Chains A and B, each alone.
Chain A
């Protein structure tokens, strides 16, 4: 049989039907396997699916891309004890900070829920993906 992609062109109705049929065979086989599982197996399966669901709630950030992006941040956040000009207080340590908190904080500066002028300007230049990547990298640095 000619190679055929069900969603693409050049695929006859019969071929598509046979692919779909085979797919549904796989699905029903999987269901049969699940039904025949013992209780501990089922529990394990349930836990595994929940864990998978949790970790895939938000897109995984790219740490390597994040490491490139934080070059700018280091101008202030890379100097131990560096203080903000006015009012005077130290710029926070952000390496090792929690991932979702960093994402929320940067979105907060974008939306104006946080009002630090420099950080508002910095956050404006970041895309959602940039923010995810930065958060993935920074949170990975926890000591």
Chain B
């Protein structure tokens, strides 16, 4: 019984640890590093041109994930590949921390599907 509990608690610790794969960056540093992004994504992270995504308030870890994908080609986009090339892992964490911290116009689909309201 005791050993079962030990195993279980190890499992719980591991499960918790694995959700923290992507570290949180520094939003203030991110703001300085993100100046290039503002031209398309807006200084407030709400792109005016509808072909570019709003980043304000998007999940931190999602932005990090996507920046890595553009960088290594899993997402194939000429503009973003060029922008990403110069970003280190730390830069990506910081830029993502900045944009995710901004006031958002985004939401999940909760409450927005047929039958919800």
Contact = CB atoms under 8 A, between A and B. Distances in A.
Interface in A90-117: 90-101, 104, 108, 112-115
Given A90-B61, A101-B53, A115-B74, A96 B105 contact: yes
Given A96-B106, A98-B54, A141-B107, A78 B65 contact: no
Interface residues of B, number: 33
A137 to B, nearest CB: 8
Interface of A: 67-68, 70-71, 73-74, 77-83, 87-101, 104, 108, 112-115, 139, 141-143
Contacts of A77: 108-109
A97 B53 contact: yes
B110 A78 contact: yes
A98 B53 contact: yes
B88 interface: no
B76 interface: yes
A74 to B, nearest CB: 4
Given A77-B108, A113-B75, 15 more contacts: A71-B114, A78-B109, A83-B19, A88-B19, A89-B59, A92-B58, A93-B57, A98-B47, A98-B51, A98-B54, A101-B47, A101-B50, A108-B75, A115-B74, A139-B50
A143 B110 contact: no
Contacts of B10: none
Contacts of A70: 109, 112-113
B21 A87 contact: yes
B52 to A, nearest CB: 6
7 contacts: A67-B113, A71-B114, A79-B108, A87-B21, A94-B109, A96-B106, A98-B51
Closest 4 CB pairs of A and B: A78-B109, A90-B59, A93-B106, A100-B51
Contacts of A73: 109
Interface in B73-91: 74-77
Given A77-B108, A89-B61, A115-B74, A97 B113 contact: no
Given A96-B105, A114-B75, A89 B62 contact: yes
A63 to B, nearest CB: 11
B104 interface: yes
Contacts of A96: 54, 104-107
A108 B78 CA distance: 13
